[in-house]
Amino acid sequence: MRTVKEANERKNEILDVAKDLFMKQGYNQTNTNEIVKAVGIARGTLYYHFKSKEEIMDAIIVRQGDELVRRAENIADDKMQSVFERIFNIIMSLKIEEQEQELVAHIHRPENALMHQRIEKMIVEKITPILTEVILEGIEEGVFKTAYPYECVEMILIYANTAFDEEDSDPSSRDLRKKVNGFIYNLERLLGCKSGSLDFIRKTFEV
Amino acid sequence: MRTVKEANERKNEILDVAKDLFMKQGYNQTNTNEIVKAVGIARGTLYYHFKSKEEIMDAIIVRQGDELVRRAENIADDKMQSVFERIFNIIMSLKIEEQEQELVAHIHRPENALMHQRIEKMIVEKITPILTEVILEGIEEGVFKTAYPYECVEMILIYANTAFDEEDSDPSSRDLRKKVNGFIYNLERLLGCKSGSLDFIRKTFEV
């Protein structure tokens, strides 16, 4: 058991260092030699864990995503909260925290378009089933009505991820307010719920 | 007037050659020196038209997009076709043609993630207003009903662009069929039209 723990620790150490290098100098500008040097391990040790730089990047994203998914799952499972409260809190848990702004700026840099694309894909793939479970509960309670809850959530997440992912989006702009109003209107139609019942989502946009 | 025409021809020639190089060896692997050499012009001539490699790529995408937009606009303006026929034909006009498969494979390569991201953004920005016009006609005719036609079309295009942009999507798979069924169901809800009235969209997916 001890060796398994050590292997995992070593793996996480490589990911920590690689992530740090990617953040500082960009993914394209970092090679595995630098990672090997910065961790202070033999080349063979790196290759025991990861076949390529791309595999390292994938593992970093998977690890970050796992943390995000764990948080969303905990909220989804908390039956003390209403379906609406849980939807609100899951959305809020996906929002980027202040200390992670560096990460956001980073994935928006042209050279990190691939990382950006993968993070978005991963979020949609992992969060869709979690939110779908909450929607299914809402259908049982009679607050939602749709024959395609999964496809519905998938559409909402893909749209929100792209449409509200502008770094320059200004919460005071009229355009953003109209966009948010249209989004909530469309959500209520997609989920087949009473007009106004998803109005609380406005708060997650700070508009 | 003659010099303007010549400048435009030169510009298009640069774009043709640069596009060809980007397609063959990848955007990241191409530098402006190679473009200058391949066109057979002076470095200053290139810089008269484009400040950077990125500007060249942007111009290629804008030019390809303009062609796509022109086709969609022509269909949207053809009042001889019903609103439904025009929606069908606009979707079909956005589909990639056989001879462009090389381009599709190219933008899906990891190193071209940025180009891919920009093409998708451009398509959504340019096609949304065109399709919105058709939807507005449909609202006047009473076949559609939504208070947010623009946001509705935007959501549909962003979703379709991402969800049906898998290179590996197999038209015979059960998953894809369910995805398409859910998509059409969601479209009918978003556009507030009769159930079944958008069933023709199924044909554009060949499922």
Parse chain B into domains and list their residue ranges. 1-51, 71-206
Q: Which CATH architecture has domain B71-206?
A: Orthogonal Bundle (1.10)
Determine the 3-state secondary structure of B190 from DSSP: helix
Q: Any chain A CB within 8 A of the CB of B52? A: no
Domain A1-51, CATH number (from 3.60.15.10, 2.60.40.1120, 1.10.10.60, 2.60.40.1180): 1.10.10.60
* Residue A189, number of CB atoms within 10 A of its CB: 22
Tell if the CB–CB gap between A189 and B192 is shorter than 8 Å: yes
Lowest mean per-residue pLDDT among A121-125, B116-120, B175-179: B116-120
Determine the 3-state secondary structure of B171 from DSSP: coil
Q: Any chain A CB within 8 A of the CB of B164? A: no
Which residues fall within 8 angstroms of residue A61, CB to CB, at 6 or more apart? A115, A118, A119, A122
Instruction: Read off the DSSP letter of residue A1.
Output: -
pTM above 0.90, yes or no: no
Q: Any chain A CB within 8 A of the CB of B29? A: no
Q: Which residues of B touch A124 (CB under 8 A)?
A: 162
pLDDT tens digits, one per residue of A77-111: 999 999 999 999 998 888 766 545 656 776 777 77
Q: Which of B160, B53, B37, B85 is nearest to A154 (CA)?
A: B160
* DSSP assignment of A18-78: HHHHHHHH-STT--HHHHHHHHT--HHHHHHH-SSHHHHHHHHHHHHHHHHHHHHHHHHH-
pLDDT tens digits, one per residue of A41-53: 999 999 999 999 9
Query: What percentage of residues in chain A have a pLDDT greater than 90?
Result: 56
| Mutate: best of B152, B162, B174, partner A, most A CBs <10 A | B162
Enter the ipTM: 0.79
Q: Which residues of B touch A154 (CB under 8 A)?
A: 159, 163, 182
CB–CB of A157/A123 below 8 Å?
yes
Residue the block writes with tokens 């063959």:
B24
Tell if the CB–CB gap between B163 and A158 is shorter than 8 Å: yes
Lowest mean per-residue pLDDT among A77-81, B23-27, B142-146, B198-202: B23-27
pLDDT tens digits, one per residue of B69-97: 999 999 999 999 999 999 999 988 887 66
- Which of A117, A151, A159 lies at the smallest CB-CB distance from B183? A151
Q: Any chain A CB within 8 A of the CB of B151? A: yes
Rounded CA-CA distance A149/A156 in Å is 11
Tell if the CB–CB gap between B190 and A192 is shorter than 8 Å: no
